[in-house]
Amino acid sequence: MLRPAVPSNEERRLEAIKKLDILDSLPEETYDSITVLASQICKTPIALISILDSNRNWFKSKVGTDVPQSDREISFCGHAILKPENLFEVPNTLTDERFKDNPLTFSENGGVRFYAGVPIKDDDGYAIGTLCVLDTKEHHLDESQKVALKALAKQVELLFEYRKKNKSLEKMKDQLDENNRVLREFASTVSHDLKMPLANMILTADVLKAKYSSKLDQEGVNYLTYLKHSGLTLSDYINGLLDHYSSGNINSEKPQEFFLNDMLEDIIDLLQIDQNCEINLPDNNLRIEGNSAALGQIFMNLISNSLKYNNSDKIVIEIDCTENREFFNFTISDNGIGIPKDKQKYIFDLFTIIADKDRQGKKGHGIGLSTVKKLVESLGGNIRISSEEGQGTLFEFSIKRPE
């Protein structure tokens, strides 16, 4: 018996196997279907997808045997990988000096008399294993069978490549998830810890103004007013951050039935609108089954934007809703200032600001619409915008009906 030689690139070859992370993995149908085809096409009772580790020949997929692996020193595949570009065929092991006294040739379960293997390479060209067929009697592959076996080996190579890419994507996703988790915790903690000092600052400004305004000149009073407004603006910003980072959990609530117009009327009452404003609700008070808290937050943000970014003497907001078998579909339009074309692509990104100042002269924080998008997507829907500067804005969004 002639033991298989060790490839000159053995260290890098073993590293490629390690990166593939496939040794001792569970059976998979995609690999098993290839060995079944190889066995049937080549008309052999046994077919294997093997991985040549440092001291063993492990079988990722096998047909016609229950043996999970063999020693590398006696493996036929160890010889096959030495010429990665060629199909390795041994028609009769008893007449081949390399295998005539090999333990596998005289196995108790029926010795191997025929072997044919195609090296399987990774995307760097390292032969990490084989697709091979075996028989207990002398056998010869015809040209069409050899072509088919090589084609099937190429499919295994593609599966290995996809596996590596999927592993890489999973690792990236895990890293992103962890980074996002840390960022959410940081933003939530900082925002929460700032709320109380801010509330104290705002309250102190009110107390100072009430007690000492008579002792201050107009400039001093203006400074206190400015201090309070700045505190309120920062408080709004912090509340927006908290809403944004908690919006990913709001969809955990169980679906419930509610009427859309009833919910919208409650939102309008909460907004305490004091401008000359007309809000037209849908003609049909649609019964909705879903997450009322999430949908309410979506409408709260969109209606607030329609109010804030509007310079018309009379604000007009139109809300409508339709339904089909899969989705509830909503629209909300206004006669506001509109959104420039160059900002519409980024309008749902965090911290993107629609305009320098709103109707009250305040600067937005660019959190509301990113929160809306997160909520809509968490409800299984999508949102889009159409707008013309000076002619208003239309938001269209959907939410998926509960199954």
pTM (2 d.p.)? 0.53
CATH 3.30.565.10 domain range(s) in the chain: 251-403
How does pLDDT run across 61-113, given as a tens digit for each residue?
Answer: 999 999 999 999 999 999 999 999 999 999 999 999 999 889 998 876 668 99
Give the pLDDT band of residue 314 (cuts 50, 70, 90). very high
Cα–Cα dist 157/175, whole Å? 27
Report how far Cα 128 is from the mean position of its chain's Cα atoms: 30
List, in order, residues 6 or more apart from 86 with CB less than 8 Å away: 119
Give the pLDDT band of residue 280 (cuts 50, 70, 90). very high
The DSSP string of 37-71 is HHHHHHT-SEEEEEEE-SSEEEEEEEES----EEE
Q: β-strands 315-323, 383-388: how paired?
A: unpaired
The DSSP string of 69-88 is EEEGGG-SHHHHTTSTTS-E
Give the pLDDT band of residue 191 (cuts 50, 70, 90). low
**Residue 389 region by backbone torsions, left for phi larger than 0, else alpha for psi between -120 and 50, else beta:** beta
CATH 3.30.450.40 domain range(s) in the chain: 10-166
The DSSP string of 219-235 is HHHHHHHHHHHHHHHHH
pLDDT value for 52: 96
CB contact at 8 A, 80 and 119: yes
Cα–Cα dist 22/109, whole Å? 27
Give the pLDDT band of residue 374 (cuts 50, 70, 90). confident
What are the beta bridge partners of residue 392? 388
Cα–Cα dist 68/344, whole Å? 58
Task: Name which of 403, 387, 385 is nearest 395 in CA terms.
Answer: 385
Check pLDDT > 80 for residue 8: yes
CB contact at 8 A, 355 and 309: yes
Check pLDDT > 60 for residue 42: yes
**May I ask the CATH architecture of the domain 10-166?**
2-Layer Sandwich (3.30)
Cα–Cα dist 116/80, whole Å? 8
List, in order, residues 6 or more apart from 302 with CB less than 8 Å away: 332, 372, 395
Where b means 16+ CB within 10 Å and e means fewer, 334-370 reads bbbbbbeeebbeebbebeeebbeebbeeeebbbbbbb
pLDDT value for 402: 84
Q: Is 172 exposed, middle or buried (0-12, 13-18, 19+ CB in 10 A)?
A: exposed
Higher pLDDT, 361 or 63: 63
Give kind and range of the element (H or E) at residue 329.
strand 327-334
Place of tokens 């955990």: 252
Report how far Cα 344 is from the mean position of its chain's Cα atoms: 24
Sequence length of the chain is 403
What are the beta bridge partners of residue 287? 259
**Which CATH superfamily does the domain covering 251-403 fall into?**
Histidine kinase-like ATPase, C-terminal domain (3.30.565.10)
Which DSSP category does 93 fall into? G
Check pLDDT > 60 for residue 248: no
Cα–Cα dist 162/31, whole Å? 13
